Chains A and B, each alone.
Chain A
Amino acid sequence: SQTIHQWPATLVQPVGSPLSLECTVEGTSNPNLYWYRQAAGRGLQLLFYSVGIGQISSEVPQNLSASRPQDRQFILSSKKLLLSDSGFYLCAWTRTGQYNEKLFFGSGTQLSVL
């Protein structure tokens, strides 16, 4: 069976510090991978998606970036965090070529930038 792992679960970082959130998927190959952000009291906003290694599409201009160094690994990064980067970050995957199937979500990372 497939599983998705996301870490850390919580993170408190000062403004201007770097960020690295990691997500890995097991039990499948060449998944579509996604990073969503959920600001407090708001819906989910798609940040990045990837349909293959090294292929990253950005949905929202910001100081965040994403990378996919391996087939089942998706990393969200920032060189310098802003206060506005606080939120709940969710990684998700779906089977390649299956655009209409449900997304499988990780357990999320609560990021607080102080």
Chain B
Amino acid sequence: AQKVTQAQTEISVVEKEDVTLDCVYETRDTTYYLFWYKQPPSGELVFLIRRNSFDEQNEISGRYSWNFQKSTSSFNFTITASQVVDSAVYFCALIEHGSGNTGKLIFGQGTTLQVKP
């Protein structure tokens, strides 16, 4: 069965520090997709990135970077030089090819990041 684990419940850093949010997943499918979403205090989930299982290239988008390693079933998210506006709950999620057209996304429990000024 598919599962996503975000072991870090809460992380607190001081502004300008780098921070890494961990995500470990389980799946039996060889084709799957991984996502990261951000949930600011307003509540709406904001899409950050999607990565398919055949593309292990790391990705960088501004201060955000993602490290996908199939060997360890991990898809970690790093924020460089964190800012107060990065304070939010971050969710890692997985969808398997075997889910068909249902689009059923399986979420981790989320990591609450607090960036202090």
Contact = CB atoms under 8 A, between A and B. Distances in A.
Instruction: State whether these chains interact.
Output: yes
Interface of A: 32, 34, 36, 42-46, 49, 51, 57, 59, 88, 90, 92, 94, 96-108, 110
A60 to B, nearest CB: 12
A32 B103 contact: yes
Contacts, number: 69
Interface residues of B, number: 26
Interface string B17-59: 0000000000000000101010000111101001010000000
Main secondary structure of the interface of B (DSSP, over half): mixed
Most chain A C-beta atoms within 10 Å of own C-beta, residue among B45, B47, B100: B45
B113 interface: no
Contacts of A44: 45, 91, 107, 110
Interface of B: 6, 33, 35, 37, 42-45, 47, 50, 52, 91, 95, 97, 99-110
Contacts of B105: 46, 103
Given A32-B102, A43-B110, A49-B103, A100 B95 contact: yes
A60 B99 CA distance: 16
B100 to A, nearest CB: 6
A92 B39 CA distance: 14
B45 to A, nearest CB: 4
